[in-house]
Protein backbone atom coordinates (compact mmCIF):
# COMPACT_ATOMS: atom_id res chain seq x y z
CA UNK A 1 0.00 0.00 0.00
CA UNK A 2 1.14 3.53 -0.73
CA UNK A 3 0.43 6.24 1.86
CA UNK A 4 0.43 9.92 0.96
CA UNK A 5 -0.28 12.97 3.08
CA UNK A 6 -1.86 15.89 1.22
CA UNK A 7 -2.51 19.50 2.21
CA UNK A 8 -5.14 21.77 0.66
CA UNK A 9 -5.38 25.49 1.36
CA UNK A 10 -5.95 27.39 -1.90
CA UNK A 11 -8.74 29.51 -0.41
CA UNK A 12 -11.12 29.14 2.55
CA UNK A 13 -10.51 25.58 3.66
CA UNK A 14 -7.32 24.36 5.30
CA UNK A 15 -7.44 20.59 5.15
CA UNK A 16 -4.91 17.77 5.47
CA UNK A 17 -5.45 14.08 4.86
CA UNK A 18 -3.70 10.74 4.53
CA UNK A 19 -4.96 8.31 1.88
CA UNK A 20 -3.95 4.98 0.42
CA UNK A 21 -5.00 3.51 -2.95
CA UNK A 22 -8.40 2.47 -1.62
CA UNK A 23 -9.60 5.04 0.80
CA UNK A 24 -9.16 8.05 3.03
CA UNK A 25 -7.34 7.01 6.22
CA UNK A 26 -8.07 10.29 7.96
CA UNK A 27 -8.75 13.94 7.21
CA UNK A 28 -8.55 17.00 9.48
CA UNK A 29 -9.80 20.43 8.39
CA UNK A 30 -10.03 23.93 9.80
CA UNK A 31 -12.23 26.37 7.92
CA UNK A 32 -11.64 30.11 7.61
CA UNK A 33 -14.85 32.08 8.04
CA UNK A 34 -14.68 35.74 6.98
CA UNK A 35 -15.74 38.20 9.72
CA UNK A 36 -17.49 40.42 7.14
CA UNK A 37 -18.05 40.22 3.38
CA UNK A 38 -16.22 37.67 1.27
CA UNK A 39 -12.85 35.97 1.61
CA UNK A 40 -10.00 38.38 2.50
CA UNK A 41 -6.87 36.72 1.03
CA UNK A 42 -4.53 38.01 3.74
CA UNK A 43 -6.87 36.96 6.56
CA UNK A 44 -7.32 33.53 4.98
CA UNK A 45 -3.53 33.07 4.73
CA UNK A 46 -3.13 34.13 8.37
CA UNK A 47 -5.79 31.63 9.33
CA UNK A 48 -3.93 28.85 7.50
CA UNK A 49 -0.59 29.85 9.07
CA UNK A 50 -2.14 29.92 12.53
CA UNK A 51 -3.82 26.54 12.26
CA UNK A 52 -1.49 24.47 10.03
CA UNK A 53 0.55 23.12 12.97
CA UNK A 54 -2.51 22.05 14.91
CA UNK A 55 -4.22 20.47 11.87
CA UNK A 56 -1.13 18.39 10.99
CA UNK A 57 -0.55 17.37 14.63
CA UNK A 58 -4.16 16.22 14.95
CA UNK A 59 -3.85 14.27 11.68
CA UNK A 60 -0.72 12.51 12.97
CA UNK A 61 -2.53 11.66 16.24
CA UNK A 62 -5.49 10.25 14.33
CA UNK A 63 -3.42 8.05 12.01
CA UNK A 64 -1.32 6.89 15.00
CA UNK A 65 -4.56 5.58 16.53
CA UNK A 66 -4.92 3.52 13.34
CA UNK A 67 -1.37 2.16 13.63
CA UNK A 68 0.25 4.44 11.05
CA UNK A 69 3.28 6.59 11.85
CA UNK A 70 4.77 9.49 9.91
CA UNK A 71 7.64 7.15 8.95
CA UNK A 72 5.17 5.02 6.98
CA UNK A 73 4.26 7.89 4.63
CA UNK A 74 5.60 7.64 1.08
CA UNK A 75 5.22 11.27 0.06
CA UNK A 76 3.92 14.74 0.99
CA UNK A 77 1.58 16.42 -1.51
CA UNK A 78 0.28 19.99 -1.56
CA UNK A 79 -1.96 22.24 -3.64
CA UNK A 80 0.48 24.15 -5.84
CA UNK A 81 -2.28 26.23 -7.47
CA UNK A 82 -4.45 27.76 -8.76
CA UNK A 83 -5.62 29.82 -5.80
CA UNK A 84 -4.94 32.84 -3.64
CA UNK A 85 -1.19 33.54 -3.66
CA UNK A 86 -0.84 34.22 0.07
CA UNK A 87 -2.76 31.05 0.97
CA UNK A 88 -0.78 28.91 -1.48
CA UNK A 89 2.53 30.17 -0.11
CA UNK A 90 1.52 29.34 3.46
CA UNK A 91 0.49 25.80 2.59
CA UNK A 92 3.55 25.34 0.37
CA UNK A 93 5.80 26.30 3.28
CA UNK A 94 4.13 23.76 5.57
CA UNK A 95 4.46 21.01 2.95
CA UNK A 96 8.15 21.75 2.29
CA UNK A 97 8.88 21.72 6.03
CA UNK A 98 7.21 18.32 6.38
CA UNK A 99 8.96 16.92 3.32
CA UNK A 100 12.38 18.02 4.60
CA UNK A 101 11.91 17.00 8.23
CA UNK A 102 10.37 13.60 7.43
CA UNK A 103 12.71 13.07 4.44
CA UNK A 104 9.80 12.24 2.13
CA UNK A 105 9.47 13.26 -1.55
CA UNK A 106 7.34 16.30 -2.36
CA UNK A 107 4.49 16.29 -4.89
CA UNK A 108 3.03 19.52 -6.34
CA UNK A 109 -0.63 18.98 -7.18
CA UNK A 110 -2.87 20.98 -9.53
CA UNK A 111 -5.98 21.77 -7.48
CA UNK A 112 -8.42 21.49 -10.43
CA UNK A 113 -7.12 18.06 -11.45
CA UNK A 114 -7.40 16.91 -7.82
CA UNK A 115 -11.15 17.71 -8.00
CA UNK A 116 -11.34 15.60 -11.18
CA UNK A 117 -9.33 12.62 -9.91
CA UNK A 118 -11.11 12.36 -6.56
CA UNK A 119 -14.36 12.20 -8.53
CA UNK A 120 -13.04 9.40 -10.74
CA UNK A 121 -11.86 7.64 -7.55
CA UNK A 122 -15.10 7.94 -5.62
CA UNK A 123 -17.64 7.36 -8.43
CA UNK A 124 -17.73 4.77 -11.25
CA UNK A 125 -16.77 7.49 -13.80
CA UNK A 126 -13.91 6.35 -16.04
CA UNK A 127 -13.33 8.85 -18.80
CA UNK A 128 -15.82 11.66 -18.20
CA UNK A 129 -16.40 15.17 -19.37
CA UNK A 130 -15.95 17.07 -16.10
CA UNK A 131 -17.91 20.15 -15.12
CA UNK A 132 -15.80 21.76 -12.38
CA UNK A 133 -17.66 24.61 -10.72
CA UNK A 134 -16.43 26.33 -7.58
CA UNK A 135 -15.93 29.82 -6.19
CA UNK A 136 -12.81 30.69 -8.15
CA UNK A 137 -13.07 28.26 -11.05
CA UNK A 138 -15.54 27.20 -13.73
CA UNK A 139 -14.25 24.82 -16.38
CA UNK A 140 -15.33 21.98 -18.63
CA UNK A 141 -12.46 19.48 -18.83
CA UNK A 142 -11.81 16.14 -20.50
CA UNK A 143 -8.80 13.90 -21.00
CA UNK A 144 -7.27 13.65 -24.45
CA UNK A 145 -3.75 12.66 -25.58
CA UNK A 146 -1.82 12.95 -22.33
CA UNK A 147 -3.52 15.99 -20.87
CA UNK A 148 -6.78 17.18 -19.42
CA UNK A 149 -7.91 19.74 -21.99
CA UNK A 150 -10.09 22.71 -21.11
CA UNK A 151 -13.03 22.64 -23.51
CA UNK A 152 -14.69 25.70 -22.05
CA UNK A 153 -14.13 28.04 -19.14
CA UNK A 154 -15.23 31.31 -17.59
CA UNK A 155 -13.99 34.44 -19.29
CA UNK A 156 -14.13 36.39 -16.01
CA UNK A 157 -15.13 35.13 -12.54
CA UNK A 158 -16.12 31.67 -11.31
CA UNK A 159 -19.83 30.86 -10.97
CA UNK A 160 -19.48 30.53 -7.16
CA UNK A 161 -17.91 33.97 -6.84
CA UNK A 162 -20.66 35.40 -9.08
CA UNK A 163 -23.33 33.91 -6.80
CA UNK A 164 -21.47 35.05 -3.66
CA UNK A 165 -21.02 38.59 -4.99
CA UNK A 166 -24.69 38.92 -5.92
CA UNK A 167 -25.75 37.47 -2.56
CA UNK A 168 -23.53 39.95 -0.72
CA UNK A 169 -25.13 42.82 -2.67
CA UNK A 170 -28.52 41.42 -1.66
CA UNK A 171 -27.45 41.60 1.99
CA UNK A 172 -26.90 37.86 2.45
CA UNK A 173 -23.88 36.43 4.28
CA UNK A 174 -21.02 34.43 2.76
CA UNK A 175 -21.17 31.89 1.17
CA UNK A 176 -24.13 33.04 -0.92
CA UNK A 177 -24.58 29.98 -3.18
CA UNK A 178 -26.70 27.90 -0.77
CA UNK A 179 -28.87 30.93 0.14
CA UNK A 180 -29.53 31.72 -3.53
CA UNK A 181 -30.57 28.10 -4.02
CA UNK A 182 -33.04 28.33 -1.15
CA UNK A 183 -34.63 31.61 -2.33
CA UNK A 184 -34.90 30.24 -5.88
CA UNK A 185 -37.17 27.45 -4.67
CA UNK A 186 -39.82 29.99 -3.63
CA UNK A 187 -39.84 31.94 -6.94
CA UNK A 188 -43.05 32.87 -8.76
CA UNK A 189 -41.73 33.98 -12.15
CA UNK A 190 -38.69 34.36 -14.39
CA UNK A 191 -36.97 37.74 -14.77
CA UNK A 192 -34.96 38.25 -18.01
CA UNK A 193 -31.19 38.30 -17.32
CA UNK A 194 -28.12 38.03 -19.59
CA UNK A 195 -27.15 34.65 -21.03
CA UNK A 196 -23.52 34.78 -22.17
CA UNK A 197 -21.88 31.89 -24.01
CA UNK A 198 -19.10 32.81 -26.45
CA UNK A 199 -17.87 29.85 -28.46
CA UNK A 200 -17.30 27.26 -25.72
CA UNK A 201 -16.66 29.84 -22.97
CA UNK A 202 -19.05 31.54 -20.58
CA UNK A 203 -19.11 34.73 -18.53
CA UNK A 204 -20.76 35.43 -15.17
CA UNK A 205 -19.70 38.92 -14.18
CA UNK A 206 -22.39 40.76 -16.19
CA UNK A 207 -25.05 38.30 -15.02
CA UNK A 208 -24.12 38.93 -11.38
CA UNK A 209 -24.35 42.72 -11.86
CA UNK A 210 -27.63 42.50 -13.82
CA UNK A 211 -29.12 40.30 -11.10
CA UNK A 212 -28.16 42.88 -8.47
CA UNK A 213 -29.85 45.63 -10.55
CA UNK A 214 -32.97 43.47 -10.99
CA UNK A 215 -33.49 43.50 -7.22
CA UNK A 216 -34.77 47.09 -7.60
CA UNK A 217 -37.91 45.86 -9.42
CA UNK A 218 -38.24 42.13 -8.69
CA UNK A 219 -38.40 39.90 -5.65
CA UNK A 220 -35.21 38.28 -4.38
CA UNK A 221 -36.82 34.86 -4.93
CA UNK A 222 -37.48 35.58 -8.63
CA UNK A 223 -34.01 37.04 -9.18
CA UNK A 224 -32.27 34.10 -7.47
CA UNK A 225 -34.29 31.67 -9.58
CA UNK A 226 -33.56 33.49 -12.84
CA UNK A 227 -29.86 33.83 -12.01
CA UNK A 228 -29.62 30.07 -11.45
CA UNK A 229 -31.63 29.17 -14.56
CA UNK A 230 -29.40 31.27 -16.82
CA UNK A 231 -26.05 30.46 -15.24
CA UNK A 232 -26.70 26.72 -15.04
CA UNK A 233 -28.16 26.54 -18.57
CA UNK A 234 -24.93 28.17 -19.82
CA UNK A 235 -22.85 25.52 -18.02
CA UNK A 236 -25.04 22.65 -19.20
CA UNK A 237 -24.97 23.89 -22.80
CA UNK A 238 -21.16 23.88 -22.90
CA UNK A 239 -20.95 20.52 -21.10
CA UNK A 240 -23.32 19.01 -23.66
CA UNK A 241 -21.29 20.38 -26.55
CA UNK A 242 -18.10 18.96 -25.02
CA UNK A 243 -19.81 15.55 -24.84
CA UNK A 244 -20.81 15.78 -28.50
CA UNK A 245 -17.36 16.98 -29.52
CA UNK A 246 -15.37 14.34 -27.62
CA UNK A 247 -17.78 11.45 -28.15
CA UNK A 248 -17.55 10.60 -24.44
CA UNK A 249 -20.60 9.26 -22.60
CA UNK A 250 -20.02 10.22 -18.96
CA UNK A 251 -20.37 13.51 -17.08
CA UNK A 252 -18.73 14.09 -13.70
CA UNK A 253 -19.68 17.05 -11.54
CA UNK A 254 -16.94 18.57 -9.30
CA UNK A 255 -16.47 21.61 -7.05
CA UNK A 256 -18.46 23.30 -4.30
CA UNK A 257 -21.23 24.66 -6.56
CA UNK A 258 -21.94 21.03 -7.48
CA UNK A 259 -23.88 20.83 -4.20
CA UNK A 260 -26.69 22.71 -5.97
CA UNK A 261 -29.71 20.47 -6.63
CA UNK A 262 -31.06 22.52 -9.52
CA UNK A 263 -27.72 22.29 -11.35
CA UNK A 264 -27.66 18.52 -10.75
CA UNK A 265 -31.19 18.15 -12.05
CA UNK A 266 -30.43 20.08 -15.26
CA UNK A 267 -27.27 18.03 -15.90
CA UNK A 268 -29.12 14.78 -15.20
CA UNK A 269 -31.86 15.67 -17.70
CA UNK A 270 -29.28 16.55 -20.36
CA UNK A 271 -27.40 13.27 -19.74
CA UNK A 272 -30.60 11.22 -19.92
CA UNK A 273 -31.46 12.82 -23.25
CA UNK A 274 -28.04 11.79 -24.61
CA UNK A 275 -27.83 8.35 -22.97
CA UNK A 276 -24.81 9.48 -20.98
CA UNK A 277 -24.11 8.54 -17.34
CA UNK A 278 -24.06 11.31 -14.77
CA UNK A 279 -21.86 11.04 -11.67
CA UNK A 280 -21.75 13.15 -8.50
CA UNK A 281 -19.33 12.24 -5.68
CA UNK A 282 -20.30 12.42 -2.01
CA UNK A 283 -20.50 16.02 -0.80
CA UNK A 284 -17.29 15.80 1.28
CA UNK A 285 -15.31 15.22 -1.92
CA UNK A 286 -16.91 18.08 -3.88
CA UNK A 287 -15.76 21.21 -2.06
CA UNK A 288 -12.07 21.77 -1.30
CA UNK A 289 -10.65 18.90 0.77
CA UNK A 290 -7.24 17.50 1.73
CA UNK A 291 -8.15 13.98 0.58
CA UNK A 292 -8.28 14.97 -3.09
CA UNK A 293 -4.79 16.50 -2.88
CA UNK A 294 -3.44 13.42 -1.10
CA UNK A 295 -5.08 11.13 -3.69
CA UNK A 296 -3.78 12.89 -6.80
CA UNK A 297 -0.46 13.17 -4.93
CA UNK A 298 -0.50 9.39 -4.57
CA UNK A 299 -1.18 8.85 -8.29
CA UNK A 300 1.58 11.29 -9.20
CA UNK A 301 4.07 9.82 -6.72
CA UNK A 302 3.44 6.31 -8.07
CA UNK A 303 4.12 7.53 -11.60
CA UNK A 304 7.41 9.18 -10.56
CA UNK A 305 6.01 12.69 -10.69
CA UNK A 306 7.69 14.38 -7.70
CA UNK A 307 9.46 17.76 -7.42
CA UNK A 308 12.57 19.10 -5.70
CA UNK A 309 11.91 21.49 -2.84
CA UNK A 310 13.99 24.11 -4.68
CA UNK A 311 11.58 23.96 -7.64
CA UNK A 312 8.35 23.83 -5.66
CA UNK A 313 7.19 27.45 -5.95
CA UNK A 314 3.42 27.91 -6.05
CA UNK A 315 1.47 29.23 -9.06
CA UNK A 316 -1.75 31.21 -8.42
CA UNK A 317 -2.68 30.75 -12.13
CA UNK A 318 -1.65 27.08 -12.45
CA UNK A 319 -3.63 25.77 -15.46
CA UNK A 320 -4.73 22.13 -15.46
CA UNK A 321 -3.98 21.79 -19.19
CA UNK A 322 -0.32 22.58 -18.51
CA UNK A 323 0.09 19.34 -16.52
CA UNK A 324 1.54 16.28 -18.25
CA UNK A 325 -0.70 13.43 -17.06
CA UNK A 326 1.77 10.76 -15.94
CA UNK A 327 -0.74 8.65 -14.00
CA UNK A 328 -3.15 7.38 -16.65
P1 LIG B 1 -11.72 26.67 -5.79
O2 LIG B 1 -10.44 26.93 -5.11
O3 LIG B 1 -11.73 25.39 -6.55
O4 LIG B 1 -12.22 27.83 -6.60
P5 LIG B 1 -13.49 27.27 -3.63
O6 LIG B 1 -12.52 27.83 -2.72
O7 LIG B 1 -14.41 28.20 -4.28
O8 LIG B 1 -12.77 26.35 -4.66
P9 LIG B 1 -15.46 25.18 -3.16
O10 LIG B 1 -15.75 24.51 -1.88
O11 LIG B 1 -15.11 24.30 -4.31
O12 LIG B 1 -14.34 26.21 -2.81
O13 LIG B 1 -16.73 26.06 -3.58
C14 LIG B 1 -17.26 27.08 -2.78
C15 LIG B 1 -18.35 27.78 -3.58
O16 LIG B 1 -19.48 26.91 -3.71
C17 LIG B 1 -18.87 29.06 -2.96
O18 LIG B 1 -18.86 30.07 -3.95
C19 LIG B 1 -20.31 28.72 -2.55
O20 LIG B 1 -21.21 29.79 -2.63
C21 LIG B 1 -20.66 27.65 -3.57
N22 LIG B 1 -21.75 26.78 -3.14
C23 LIG B 1 -21.79 25.95 -2.07
N24 LIG B 1 -23.00 25.34 -1.97
C25 LIG B 1 -23.74 25.78 -3.03
C26 LIG B 1 -25.07 25.54 -3.49
N27 LIG B 1 -25.88 24.71 -2.85
N28 LIG B 1 -25.47 26.19 -4.61
C29 LIG B 1 -24.65 27.02 -5.27
N30 LIG B 1 -23.41 27.31 -4.88
C31 LIG B 1 -22.95 26.70 -3.77
FE1 LIG C 1 -11.64 23.86 -5.31
**Digit-coded pLDDT (tens) for 72-85:** 999 999 999 999 99
The bound ligand whose nearest atom lies closest to the alpha carbon of 204 is 1
Question: Cα–Cα distance between 147 and 44 in angstroms, integer?
Answer: 31
pTM of the model: 0.96
The bound ligand whose nearest atom lies closest to the alpha carbon of 293 is 2
163 lines ligand 1 (CB under 6 A): yes
Closest CA to 103 of 78, 80, 58, 71: 71
User: Which numbered atom of ligand 1 lies nearest the CA of 137?
Assistant: 4
Closest CA to 91 of 2, 12, 38, 34: 12
Cβ proximity of 104 and 69 under 8 Å: no
80 lines ligand 1 (CB under 6 A): no
Q: Is the dihedral of CA 139, 173, 55, 89 positive or negative?
A: positive
Fold of 128-280: Nucleotidyltransferase; domain 5 (3.30.420)
270-316 per-position pLDDT tens digit: 999 999 999 999 999 999 999 999 999 999 999 999 999 999 999 99
What pLDDT sits at residue 185?
98
Nearest CA to ligand 1 atom 5: 135
**Cα diameter, the chain:** 63
Angle (nearest 5°) at CA 194 between 319 and 167: 75
Q: How is the chain split into domains, by residue range? A: 4-115+287-322, 128-280
Residue 245 bridge partners (DSSP):
none
What pLDDT sits at residue 39?
85
Pocket test for ligand 1, best of 134, 282, 284 (most atoms within 8 A of CB): 134
CATH pick for 4-115+287-322 out of 3.30.420.40, 3.40.50.460, 3.30.497.10, 3.40.50.300: 3.30.420.40
DSSP string, 112-135: HHHHHHHHHHHSS-SS-EEEEE-S
Question: Cα–Cα distance between 29 and 38 in angstroms, integer?
Answer: 20
Extract the residue ranges of the chain whose pLDDT is less than 50: none
158 lines ligand 1 (CB under 6 A): yes
Question: Cα–Cα distance between 11 and 154 in angstroms, integer?
Answer: 18
What pLDDT sits at residue 36?
77
Question: Cα–Cα distance between 78 and 313 in angstroms, integer?
Answer: 11
136 lines ligand 1 (CB under 6 A): yes
83 lines ligand 1 (CB under 6 A): yes
Amino acid sequence: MTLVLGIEGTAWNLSAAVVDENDVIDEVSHTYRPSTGGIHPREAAQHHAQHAGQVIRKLFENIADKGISSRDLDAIAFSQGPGLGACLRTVGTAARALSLSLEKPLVGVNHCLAHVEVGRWKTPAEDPVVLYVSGGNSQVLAYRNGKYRIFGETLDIGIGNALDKFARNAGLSHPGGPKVEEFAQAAASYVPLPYVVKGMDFSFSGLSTAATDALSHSSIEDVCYSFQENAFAMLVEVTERALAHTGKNEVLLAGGVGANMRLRQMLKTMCEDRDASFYVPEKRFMGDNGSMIAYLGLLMYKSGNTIEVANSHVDPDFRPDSVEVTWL
